[in-house]
Structure 1
């Protein structure tokens, strides 16, 4: 079963079961997730969930550059400019339903998070039962740069990181690597990218049981064994080495003070400096949304978080910064967004509160 943007395959196993393989196949856009792709993946996942022959799902990206670089925000920009909010509402609603289905899937899902894993790509990977990164994984939630906020369930999973780290990653859009992902529990296994085909081939020889929890254990034991066989020296973890510095930068009561502390960094560390620069150039509305979303999500279930984010994202489409941020970064590429409101001081609590209500 094949389309231009997603390829579905059923792979046989020696135990008589099947592995459902989903390949995001939009290499030119770094496998960015479109509404068309979502509408193919969601029903196929549901069908495989109810198919007793399918023991495991393998989710991967085509090519060597990216698992998935995020949602197709360029298409969202075009829809917003055309006033087609039915399309943007459908995109976010169906994307979050897909992410939730992955988080709650009763069978093992192996997500091969090689290369770029950003935004909507991390939304796909975060909920998988078995998340693999490689020496070339580059992960981020960079929505601050396009006038959005870390969505796709990030209000839930970033909230679970220690020391306000999730808030820092949301505010700065900081990029992190495989060692970081393992350190903060956003990945489970690290394998060399060169071992991919061998690892995938080995799935067919496993003793699948046809029962979700048992098969999750089968897959986990296999991937742990693969890690032992393929010694992988990962690059150092910036998050681990900067953890105390991040705690210090975030140790304030208000987001205004956090922003001032982060943006005043003038040291020699490239990673911290890059985060400060992204934050300084980011949308003031997004800055306040990052904090407000994580604060409100603390007492919510995962399903409630997705419901909250759906309201937020629908409202972002109806406010100026999202379309303007995409225009500046990805459409006109002038990197000169005109944010509205233009300063953090102008973004009032009442303005932010309105984002949490359905349009």
Structure 2
């Protein structure tokens, strides 16, 4: 079974992530197929724009196949735990190359961000020229719960959200709906899922002789213009989020989060994710977003590739995946165990250059 389905209709290249049973999670073979299609269509005269979707109605993409990465880390530990597992390097480097390709693609890419869009799914969506969410979109970067951090360009797009939303989303894995995404600039259009065929029909009838980006924009603006977008929970919590603009350290962030007096379900959910997540992840996420504010896109992906490889030789990533997806006991044994146990030297070790001559050209 092909992990990527393709179809061309009137110079519209339709790409479907085709692993419905895994909620279209990104495996290395799927990423390889996607990379090949994007490269082929980049200069093809038969393609004016791309429409990217997930198979089924549940998800665009639920993230990367971290179970496979866990297995590669465990196998490598038995040989030499100081070395990056080859499968992990291959996965992250190619995934980030695909994300970078989407960010810099010369043709319009429409991403149908319907259903679950998490982790690597957001990586695919974030850089597209035309990002659509629906009434069933659920987006999040919950990597803190598995000992990772918001990668796939998170350093770039989280830092571009207003106020302190980026650091809050990274440290709490807060779930966002379509209205939240449009408010935060993570989506361009809020369109009901029932209008998908209308979009595809309009693309099939489009005249591609003029500027394709303008043509796509005109189609999507026409279909979305009368949409009544629901109230955004992220927007209603703006006063709360603004408090974190004052947080210069992780300790200050935690104090503001815990001591905020007007807690509700949305805030309490964030507190819970932060408290049960990896203490090491919390520290590296805070530093990642602080240090990455002025990086260009290529530097972002280069730094994230190094950090992801470090996560593969540090203990918490494999342990987080074990607890959530392998043994499913939901009781990760983080090392170090608490925020207070973590030293500056420990966090520094995550940011040391590890990939050596494996540097990737984006």
Does residue 223 of structure 1 match 2:216? no
Q: Return the alpha-carbon distance in structure 2 between the equivalents of residues 144 and 340 of structure 1.
A: 13
CA distance in 2 between counterparts of 1:278 and 1:323 reads 18
**Any conservation in 2 of the 1:315–1:355 contact (CA below 8 Å)?**
yes
What residue is the counterpart of 2:90 in the other structure?
90
Cα-to-partner distance string for 1:226-245 (whole Å, 9 max, x where unaligned):
113xx444432011000111
CA distance, structure 1, for counterparts of residue 5 and residue 45 of structure 2: 21
Task: Give SS of 1:160's match.
Answer: coil
1:307 matched to which residue of 2?
Answer: 302
Q: In the TM superposition, what is the alpha-carbon distance from 1:198 to its structure 2 partner?
A: 2.2
- TM-score, normalized by length of structure 2? 0.93
In the TM superposition, residue 358 of structure 1 has moved relative to its aligned partner by: 3.0
1:10: how far off?
1.6
CA–CA separation in structure 2 for the residues paired with 1:263 and 1:329? 25
**Structure 1 CA distance, aligned partners of 2:66 and 2:259?**
31
Any residues of structure 2 matched to 1:207-286 within 5 Å, and which?
207-209=207-209, 214-228=211-225, 231-265=226-260, 267=262, 269-286=264-281
The answer as to 2:19 corresponding to 1:26 is yes
* Structure 2: unaligned runs, 5 residues or longer: 77-83, 355-362
Structure-1 separation of matches of 2:111 and 2:124: 8
2:185 match: 185
Change (3 A) 1:158 1:61: same
* Residue of 256, 281, 285 corresponding to 1:290: 285
Deviations 1:298-332 (A, max 9, x none): 12100000000000000001111001111111121
Contact 1:56–1:108 (CA under 8 A) maintained in structure 2: yes
- Cα deviations across residues 108-152 of structure 1 (Å, max 9, x unaligned)? 000000000110000000000000000000011100100000000
- Equivalent residue of 1:152, what SS? coil
Equivalent in the alignment of 1:35 = 28
CA–CA distance in structure 2, aligned partners of residues 234 and 30 of structure 1: 26
Q: Cα RMSD between the aligned structures?
A: 1.4
Give the superposition deviation at 1:188: 0.4
User: Is the Cα contact below 8 Å between 2:170 and 2:285 reproduced in 1?
Assistant: yes
Displacement of 1:52: 1.7
Q: Is it true that 1:56 corresponds to 2:49 in the alignment? A: yes
In structure 1, list runs of 5 or more residues that go unmatched.
none
> 1:161·1:184 contact (CA, 8 Å) conserved in 2?
yes
1:265 is displaced (CA, Å) by 4.9
CA distance in 1, matches of 2:22, 2:260: 34
Partner of 1:132: 132
C-alpha contact (below 8 Å) 1:60/1:112 kept by paired residues: yes
Task: Show the counterpart of 1:340.
Answer: 335
CA contact (8 A) 2:164 2:244 kept: no
So what's the TM-score if we normalise by structure 1?
A: 0.94
